[in-house]
Structure 1
Amino acid sequence: MSRQASGLMAWLVQRATAVYLAFFVLYLILHFTFDAPADHAEFVAWLRQAPVAIGLLLFVPVLIAHAWVGIRDVLIDYVHVLGLRMGLLMLFGFIFFASGLWAIKAIVTAGIGG
């Protein structure tokens, strides 16, 4: 991919991830509004359903990709000192990576470990 297309690719990633996030959050809001689990056991049973587990496991990297493109664009646009920008990008990259691992572990533990 050429350097000229990187802005278009970021724009496409941002829009595609926003669509998934919007639909999944809407599903969660509707589910917990009209069919909320009564207790922890029922919540874990809901998490163990394959479509829910796959949706949640996909939600984490999609959310991180969406946040990464957004924070990267803000830093590129507004932080003009290259060293500071690179340091902040590395910091946010580490935070997003660690948060993603933690979220995946939490989802897998809740779904498998009960």
Structure 2
Amino acid sequence: MTSASSLGLKAWLIQRLTAVYMALFIVFSMGKFLLLPPQDYQQWIAWVAHPGVNAALALFILSLLLHTWVGLRDVIMDYVKPVAVRAGLFSALIIVLSGCGLWSLRLLLQVAG
């Protein structure tokens, strides 16, 4: 297996695994909110602050960021040919995704107390 095909397989696998986890988390969350919806803000915060839910939500956010990175990286690599533009787009994408990840981490830690 060549290095390029190995990278392609890893990207494909990351896309599939993150998609499966995100789908399962969304189904779980929808089921929870349909069966036992929070009645007020305090119940919502208490649910998110639960260590299991907080960890699952953190993993969901990480999965979302990885899924986004792999997908947009592949689109940029396939359709943006000038190297300088590609590098600029990669840099912007890294900055935006890092900012979103740090902001999400801050919120999760703040809720966890």
Shorter-chain TM-score bucket reads: over 0.9
Do the aligned residues in 1 keep the contact of 2:51 with 2:112 (CA within 8 Å)?
Answer: no
| Equivalent position of 1:28 in the other structure | 29
* Counterparts of 2:21 and 2:53, CA distance in 1: 14
CA displacement, residues 9-45 of structure 1 (integer Å, 9 cap, x when unaligned): 1000000100001100111111122211111111111
Shift of 1:58: 1.0
Structure 2: unaligned runs, 5 residues or longer: none
Map of 1:76 onto structure 2: 77
Identity across matched positions, percent: 36
For residues 70-109 of structure 1, what are the structure 2 equivalents within 5 Å? 70-109=71-110
Tell me the residue number matched to 2:40: 39
Deviation, 1:50, is 1.9
Query: Following TM superposition, by how much is the alpha carbon of 1:56 offset from its aligned partner in structure 2, in angstroms?
Result: 0.7
Residue ranges of structure 1 left out of the alignment (5+ in a row): none
Q: What is the TM-score of this pair, normalised by structure 1? A: 0.92
Q: Is the 8 A contact 2:61 2:101 kept in 1?
A: yes
Which letter maps to 1:102? Answer: W
TM-score, scaled to structure 2: 0.93
Q: Which runs of 4+ in 1 moved over 4 A?
A: none
